[in-house]
Structure 1
Amino acid sequence: MRPDEIAQALSALPGVRSDLTGDLLEVVVPAIDDRLRLRPEAVRRGRRISAPNGDPAVEFAVSDGTDEWPLIVTPDDVVFAPVPAAGLLDSAVPFVVSNMPPLVAYSEMVRDAEAVTRRLAGPDARVSNLDEVGATFLMLRAFVAGAVRFGLRPVRAVAWWEQGWAVVRDRVFLPPFRADPAWDELAREATRVPPPAPRPPAEPAVAAGRPVTAAEFDALAPLLTALRPDEEFRAAWARWIRVPPDAFARALTDQVAGAQAALSLYPEGTGSVDLRVYDGDRLSALLQLRFSVPGRTMAVDEIRIAETARSTGLFARLMFNAEALARLLGLTRMTAHATDMGSYALATAGVYLRDPELYRRSRRQP
């Protein structure tokens, strides 16, 4: 593609800007504090698509003359394919990460690198599964190498990786990593990254939320129904949830017509949500969530979409809303069947990769 064609495609993304510097097109994405550095002739084609949350996005096919890779730019993120993990290790035996996603978002790469390092470096850290830890660090290296392929410089992700790797490197069962000058350069730059702030306490050090009344929940029904809005429930809400009930309901049901949610909340700060989506009298979708505010986690126990509601964007919208609710509650980890949600799951579900050739190639990845 010509530089002006790429720039025209990107012009639909608020906040994203592109500049031609020599023979490289630099695409600045302020939200991630990084920029793509692309050779225009390597960008074979592009198309405007929609991100899972409805924002505009652009999907490019980028080639080195031998292979093609997807690259998706949104107003606040970049989504790309990791490199094969086996090529990163100095070993005659190929290592494969079984749950390697076909696509990863830049923001998730940084988030996951931070999360694993904080778990390992915390005062109560315990490493119970060294194989899993090793695979996680290998997968993160594959993410970073995938980002570097497009000229990104994910220094923060590398800084987190290096801190965590220093804790476990002598205990995990992985062959040595192959020499990688690009990684070494990022690692040197990462040493200049300021040390991370301490993890906030499990219970935020702020005043308890205002009392809520049963009438507030009654007014929201059937959009949001508290199964037992008694005094114990309301005390738990004031201690743990700390947002108005209508804000909770808006985050969970935004842009989902026919949504009806039932909420349980317990004194220790755990709870569950059953969200049903109706099309008239017919059930279109079911989403079941569990959360722990002190544990800062949310789990997607089940999501089902009726045949008549598939390929309508409902799956992506429900996942997006679940993540929005997790952020609203201050939760830092979201899981579903042991797989992190976000672009990982959305990519697997087929939200991204509209280009037929890119989609076909992604299905061949190990």
Structure 2
Amino acid sequence: MRQSEIVDALSKIPALKVVTGGPALVVTVPAIGESLRLHAEAVTWLKHGVLPTGDPYLQLQARQQDHEVRLVLLNDNLGWVPPDVNSLLDTQIPVRITDAPEMVTYTDLERESVRALDGADRPDVNLFALTATLLVHRCAIVGALRLGLRPLRAVRLWHELWCHVGEFLAGPFWPDPYWDRLLLEAGVPLASYEEARAGERPAIEALTVADLRAMEPVLTVTRADDHFLAAWRQWMKLTPRQVCEVLAADLPEARIEVSLYIEGGGAVSMRIAPSGVFQALIELRLSFTTRSASLDEIRIADELKGSGLFSRLRSNIEGFTRALGLLSLKASVSGDGSVAFARAGYDWDRS
């Protein structure tokens, strides 16, 4: 969609402040003190409407990485569709909240956060209903975060509620460095591992497509483009240089190829063949959504068995998967290598 079309549509909501001139429109809702950025090429649909009060609103749909986001812009508020709760919880048991709202607004989020926290200390409180509220609010805040919003008061209120009922959740939340950084911004004290995780993100977020190519030929990626970069930023905890330092440690002839998919899967292949003479190969599959890795193949040239190369590969693979935050590593290879791998105890679970 053209930027001029979007500017014209936004002009029908007179209280909004729109700044043009850059690659994205900056739209500010003064009543809530928040701004969001709209890239014209990402907007796929918009429609005007009028509330029963007579106030105008604008519905808008835009692409964001691998999914669509829906927004409603008003003179004094902003609404969005929160992500599904099961995308945030690390549990094999599907969670369904029957009365969860399809869309939330900025002001409702703050008001309902206060109401939930006020009810937490009542003697007749329904802890499981309050836990559902905790989940709904987490989804709403994550949705706001993905839009570039910073509902810091709602974050602080959420954390207080979590301290009351977090133990009743169906499972832990997936590690989310963006969330950790939002907690820091809101002044919420973090555990030491959360602070470390939050600190890792700036280097990842600063990566460019050129950085994906910078380690060639030691490390190559299947597609050095914006889609691959988005997947790397979403899932990887290491920069390309760090991948080389960890996986190819003490293996100067190693060549690594990385495949990543925005939905949370990936593969890593490492081959050692100086001057074209084969020495070793590993094939590793990654699942960031299940926090697991599978070693599909590990091969070593016959003349190098017993040289210590197998132990080095094994150690590097373990260090690499740990650095990615994966909890399990399964060996599903065949032959002498797999026997040694299994005897070393590498069919294990870190959880």
TM-score scaled to structure 1, two decimals?
0.48
Q: SS of the counterpart of 2:79?
A: strand
Q: Are 1:51 and 1:74, in contact at CA under 8 Å, matched by a contact in 2?
A: no
**1:51 is matched by which residue type in structure 2?**
L
| Structure with bigger RCO (C-alpha 8 Å, 6+ apart) | 1
Aligned 1:15-94 pairs, distance under 5 A? 15-20=15-20, 22-64=22-64, 66-94=66-94
Is the counterpart of residue 174 in structure 1 residue 182 in structure 2?
no
Question: What 5-or-longer segments of structure 1 have no aligned partner?
Answer: 194-366
Is the counterpart of residue 153 in structure 1 residue 157 in structure 2?
no
Q: Deviations over 1:79-124 (max 9, x none)?
A: 111110111101122212111111111111111112111222xxx5
Question: What 5-or-longer segments of structure 2 have no aligned partner?
Answer: 190-351
Q: SS of the counterpart of 1:31?
A: coil
Q: Deviations over 1:267-325 (max 9, x none)?
A: xxxxxxxxxxxxxxxxxxxxxxxxxxxxxxxxxxxxxxxxxxxxxxxxxxxxxxxxxxx
**1:17 positional shift:** 0.9
**1:64 positional shift:** 2.9
Distance 2:87 2:124 in 1: 26
Aligned 1:163-202 pairs, distance under 5 A? 163-170=160-167, 172-191=168-187
**1:128 positional shift:** 3.2
**2:171 is matched by which residue type in structure 1?**
P
Q: Are 1:48 and 1:56, in contact at CA under 8 Å, matched by a contact in 2?
A: yes
Q: Are 1:134 and 1:174, in contact at CA under 8 Å, matched by a contact in 2?
A: no
Distance 1:21 1:177, change over 3 A: farther
Distance 1:116 1:186, change over 3 A: same
**1:182 positional shift:** 2.1
Q: Are 2:144 and 2:150, in contact at CA under 8 Å, matched by a contact in 1?
A: yes
Q: Where does residue 253 of structure 1 map in the other structure?
A: none
Distance 1:2 1:187, change over 3 A: same
Is the counterpart of residue 141 in structure 1 residue 141 in structure 2?
no
Larger radius of gyration: 2
**1:92 is matched by which residue type in structure 2?**
Q
Identity %: 35
Distance 1:126 1:33, change over 3 A: farther
Aligned 1:1-366 pairs, distance under 5 A? 1-20=1-20, 22-64=22-64, 66-120=66-120, 125-126=122-123, 128-170=125-167, 172-191=168-187
Q: SS of the counterpart of 2:169?
A: coil
**1:21 positional shift:** 6.7
Aligned residues: 189
Q: SS of the counterpart of 1:44?
A: strand
**1:182 is matched by which residue type in structure 2?**
Y
Q: Are 2:159 and 2:188, in contact at CA under 8 Å, matched by a contact in 1?
A: no
Distance 2:94 2:37 in 1: 30
Q: Deviations over 1:219-247 (max 9, x none)?
A: xxxxxxxxxxxxxxxxxxxxxxxxxxxxx
Distance 1:126 1:22 in 2: 54
Distance 2:84 2:145 in 1: 13
Distance 1:68 1:151 in 2: 15
**1:125 is matched by which residue type in structure 2?**
R
Q: SS of the counterpart of 2:132?
A: helix
Across the aligned residues of Structure 1 and Structure 2, the Cα RMSD in angstroms comes to 2.1
Q: Are 2:43 and 2:63, in contact at CA under 8 Å, matched by a contact in 1?
A: yes
**1:192 positional shift:** 7.5
**1:32 is matched by which residue type in structure 2?**
I
Q: Where does residue 235 of structure 1 map in the other structure?
A: none
**1:186 is matched by which residue type in structure 2?**
L
